[in-house]
Amino acid sequence: MSDLLRSAMAARLAKLPADLPPMGDEDEDNEETEAHDSLGSLPGSGMGPPAAPRTRPKPSKRPPNPDFAPLSASSYFSEALQVAIPERGLDVRAYYTPPKFAGGTVFVCHHGAGYSGLSFACFAKEVVEMARGEVGVLALDARRHGKTRSTTDPEPVELDIATLVDDFVAIVQTVFPHSPNPPPPLLLIGHSMGGAVVAHSSPRLQAAGFHLLGIAVLDVVEGSAVEALPHMHNLLNARPDGFDSVEDAIEWHVKTKTIRNDNSARVSVPAIVEAAPSSNLPAPHAWIWRTPLRSTAPYWMSWFQDLSMTFLAARTARLLLLAGTDRLDKPLMIAQMQGKFQLHVLGGGNVGHMLHEDDPTRVAEVLLEFWRRNDTSKLKLPVKIKGVGEA
């Protein structure tokens, strides 16, 4: 609760009039960084950390910082797919590195609200290298996110959990059809909002004949998420409405510690902003959010309500991976003590809500260990030991 109150107070500070001079020297930069350090994410909210409050006027436009230049995703995935889902009215962007061996497992990743499949880029590269080709990774852009496009006009605005689950199931069935070869074993991974999607999707995919080795939910807990929702609009008021350049957007994510890994931010952030629409009037920002979080507000409750019971009811192995220790709600706490799912807390203070971007190596290690523990294809029947004198 202390983190929640601190975040709400930080959002209120953003509404105070700015009476400080613009940033100038290095000492002021250090002072601002320390202010950012004091702001924690909403505990288990699934909505990410709040922006640092703006206590200074917006500086004049400056040249893009080359230290935050975008990086291509081509070094992190082997393929960028456009997957037509006509029954859902979608043309879906997915990033894929297939396993090198027949029958290899595929980690299927669903991002959180406002992000894209490229938030799993660094994680995917780590997984593929550590597993030496035994595991592939598919990461998709959900509707109204990234480079996924609607094929209907006007584009539907719905982002409720039922819509997202129907989309996800249709995408998996299209990318991995049952013929001419059976689909590979799958491990479903969802961050934040995506955690709810994979939890709700798992029984649907099992009923459709997919072999699920497990589901992994990253840094979202129903109780804390629902508790935090009334404060979200105040927290969103502290976010910038746009940026002068893509480099500016990347730099903001890194310096506010929304993403604590420079390389990951340079790959993932370009997919979550877009050029502002051209008009006769000068736009206040050259780049704006591709998916403004405030526009998703009508659907927040549907994402997180009943998430704990849905996760615990999944008929497959379950992993809850959290960035901090104070995020379990009561049903999960009881179930965890009963050994009904695996809980792993990264901790250490160097990861936040975007834990798979902040420390992709550690997250890959945890997920691969979870996969090895539950990959039934590797089980072998015990060898019968013959007695002395037996033929």
Token pair listed for 290: 């591709």
d(CA 259, CA 165): 27
Token pair listed for 327: 């995020």
Find the DSSP H helices in the chain.
Answer: 2-13, 26-37, 121-131, 161-175, 193-207, 222-228, 232-236, 246-255, 262-268, 300-304, 307-313, 330-337, 355-358, 360-374
Q: Which of 192, 202, 245, 264 is catalytic?
A: 192
Q: Is 233 a catalytic residue?
A: no
- Please answer whether residues 127 and 110 qualify as being in contact, where contact means their C-beta atoms are separated by less than 8 angstroms: no
d(CA 128, CA 359): 16
Q: Which of 224, 353, 356, 359 is catalytic?
A: 353
Stated length of the chain: 391
Q: Which of 3, 219, 248, 358 is catalytic?
A: 219
35, 61, 245 from 65: Cα distances, Å: 22, 12, 9
Q: Is 91 a catalytic residue?
A: no
Q: Is 353 a catalytic residue?
A: yes
d(CA 378, CA 363): 22
d(CA 225, CA 350): 22
DSSP per-residue codes, 121-184:
HHHHHHHHHHHTTSEEEEEEPPTTSTT-EESSSSPP----HHHHHHHHHHHHHHHS-SSSSPPP
Supply the residues annotated as catalytic. 192, 219, 353
